[in-house]
Amino acid sequence: MEKHACENPHCPAQGDHNHCSLNRLGIGCRGTVVSVAGDSELRRRLLEMGFCNGADVEVVRRAPLGDPIECRLRGYSLSLRGEQAQFVTIATAR
């Protein structure tokens, strides 16, 4: 396995892996969507928002208490609750 490529030393996704859920990425970390899970309604909603396999995602910022998370995706910004973001699996950028 490869190391997490985010240069942010405080990124909670740091470790001996290169896949993690979107809610674990730190501010400024980037990656590519590799899967979307969850019940059928949530999965459909996430896919409609643009979280399709291969889409590039960057965590822009978090609310003061960590939730919601603002992401940049497909040329626009959107916010997700952590409980929704945990169902999006990201391959971190190299």
Q: Average pLDDT by consecutive 10-residue portion of the chain (94 residues)?
A: 46 63 91 94 94 94 90 93 94 72
Residue 47: Cβ within 10 Å count = 14
| Phi and psi, residue 22, nearest 5° | -55, -35
CA 20-48-7 angle, to 5 degrees, is: 30
Using one digit for the tens of pLDDT, what is the confidence trace for 60-87?
999 988 789 999 999 999 999 999 999 9
Is 14:7 a contact under the CB 8 Å cutoff?
no
Domains of the chain, each with CATH number or no CATH: 19-92 (2.30.30.90)
Order of all β-strands in the sheet with 19-21:
19-21, 88-92, 30-36, 56-62, 69-73, 76-80
The answer to whether the predicted template modeling score (pTM) of the entire model surpasses 0.85 is: no
User: Which tokens is 78 given?
Assistant: 């959107």
